[in-house]
């Protein structure tokens, strides 16, 4: 586990990227780490470009925005074009349900939206992606993410999100 992680989650408004960033930051705080989450999105909240950045650190966070990402989640072609450069070694997770398949040692394509639909709620694609990213990078523990989800949601919604998280974890573990 590194002392600092910088994460970018980018896509379209309505994909839950801001919520995903907040949940990730809360999981880091549960672990006793420092976390900062920032967000930006266009005028059109649904459908316009949306980005959530999270900085997790064992030390004080001086600058709250991502300078050198350690991992990227791209849920639209626009986000993929912005962050998945050929020379990069940064792990880039992307949704093969929504984006064209790409090949690269640093590219991790999974059918997040398709799996979320099978789970019964397409809105959990972001949590499935978060589970895969956390399993690959160890930026936070899966148990901390589950606790953050339980704090944010209750009842069946919490259960569904935890199932989504575990689907993402299994995706990445099956891939290794």
Structure confidence by residue, pLDDT tens digits, 101-134: 988 888 999 999 999 999 999 899 999 999 999 9
pLDDT at 86: 55
Rounded Cα–Cα distance for residues 7 and 128 (Å)? 16
Q: Which of 29-43, 53-67, 75-89 has the lowest mean pLDDT?
A: 75-89
CATH of the domain at 148: 3.40.920.10
CB 10 within 8 A of CB 83: yes
Total domain count, the chain: 1
pLDDT at 46: 61
pLDDT at 137: 92
Is residue 39 exposed (0-12), middle (13-18) or buried (19+ Cβ within 10 Å)? Answer: middle
Rounded Cα–Cα distance for residues 96 and 34 (Å)? 32
pLDDT at 130: 96
* Boundaries of domain holding 117: 4-175
Does residue 44 carry a pLDDT above 80? no
Structure confidence by residue, pLDDT tens digits, 143-154: 999 999 999 999
Neighbours of 148 (CB within 10 A): 24
Neighbours of 67 (CB within 10 A): 8
Beta-strand ranges (E) seen in the chain are 4-12, 34-41, 49-57, 71-74, 92-95, 107-110
């Amino acid at each position: 586990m590194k002392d600092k992680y910088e994460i970018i989650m980018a896509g379209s408004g309505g994909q839950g990227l801001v919520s995903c960033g907040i949940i990730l930051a809360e999981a880091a705080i549960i672990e006793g780490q420092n976390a900062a989450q920032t967000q930006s999105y266009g005028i059109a909240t649904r459908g316009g470009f949306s980005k959530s950045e999270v900085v997790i650190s064992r030390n004080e966070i001086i600058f709250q925005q991502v300078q050198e990402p350690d991992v990227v989640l791209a849920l639209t072609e626009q986000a993929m074009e912005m962050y998945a450069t050929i020379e990069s070694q940064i792990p880039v997770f992307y949704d093969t349900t929504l984006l064209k398949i790409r090949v690269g040692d640093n590219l991790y394509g999974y059918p997040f939206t398709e799996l979320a639909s099978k789970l019964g709620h397409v809105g959990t694609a972001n949590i499935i992606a978060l589970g895969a990213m956390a399993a690959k990078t160890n930026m936070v523990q899966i148990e901390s993410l589950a606790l953050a989800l339980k704090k944010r949601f209750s009842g069946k919604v919490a259960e569904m999100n935890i199932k989504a998280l575990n689907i993402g974890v299994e995706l990445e573990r099956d891939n290794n």
